[in-house]
Amino acid sequence: METSALQPTAAIDAWDEGTTRQDLAVRKELKFTFDRGDVGAIRQVLQQRCKRIVHHEPVSWVRSVYFDNESFAACHANLDGLGVRTKVRLRWYDSLQPKRKAYLEIKWRRNRTTGKHRLHLTSPIDLAELNFRTLRRSIRASLPERFVGAFAGYPQPVSIVQYCREHFVTPDRSIRLTMDYALTFYDQFSKSRINTSFPATMGDFVVVEGKTAVGSEQQLRRLLSPLAVRASRCSKYVHSCRLLGLVRCGE
């Protein structure tokens, strides 16, 4: 990472959403990918079987800075198919760079089950004004002690992953689905602060993610059967590392 002047930390507040959102705790997650996806056709199938959920706008812009270490341990853990792995990201919505509200997410996998710790961050200044060193110091100072180790273990900003997301839920609310498209990546590995120059895109690639309680996977597969697609391993972060030339296949 480039050297940068030391800034004073920002007084960030962090609130753990896990205290009120049980859906983050333990769940089963399946991903279905389309190399040349027809967003309209996929949306039609989902709307026939699910209810569309609109948060602020019908389509959300999701952006995340992914953190790793300098040997890309989190990326390689995914490529190697390790059953126990962790991802750390800073996420925000609907603005090109983060403003005063964002989310620190620590996503974990234990073989077939996944979960996520999600901390709502609020800052007195736009987070984009901070260089990465100060941003990380400010976030770390705000974290409950139980999250410090995971955050500290992935100190290197690697990439921004950006996409459009639409939300759906089954009538009984037992399955939540998202459709992600317009995937775009920005290299952050050698940057001193958040940088959205020189995007790399994945064209018509579409990802449908389904999240449900452990043991309900077959219901999710039946729900998506009209799309005639099988569940597959897919990590947007790994795709970003490959497309940006940060890791190579077979490394």
Residue 144 pLDDT: 95
Domain annotation covers residue 112 = yes
If we measure between CA atoms, which residue out of 230, 213, 39 comes closest to residue 114? 213
Domain annotation covers residue 58 = yes
pLDDT of 2 above 50: no
Domain annotation covers residue 90 = yes
pLDDT in tens, 178-201: 999 999 999 999 999 999 999 999
* Count of domains observed in the chain: 1
Residue 89 pLDDT: 99
pLDDT of 21 above 80: no
* Average pLDDT in the chain: 92
User: What percent of the chain clears pLDDT 70, i.e. is strictly above it?
Assistant: 94
CATH number, domain containing residue 19: 3.20.100.30
Residue 3 pLDDT: 46
If we measure between CA atoms, which residue out of 217, 222, 209, 241 comes closest to residue 33? 209
Name the token pair of 205: 């690639």
Mean pLDDT, range 56-64, rounded to an integer: 94
Residue 230 pLDDT: 86
pLDDT tier at 18 (50, 70, 90 boundaries)?
Answer: confident
Domain annotation covers residue 4 = no
Residue range of the domain that includes 107: 13-243
Neighbours of 163 (CB within 10 A): 22
Range picked from 6-10, 64-68, 246-250 for highest mean pLDDT = 64-68
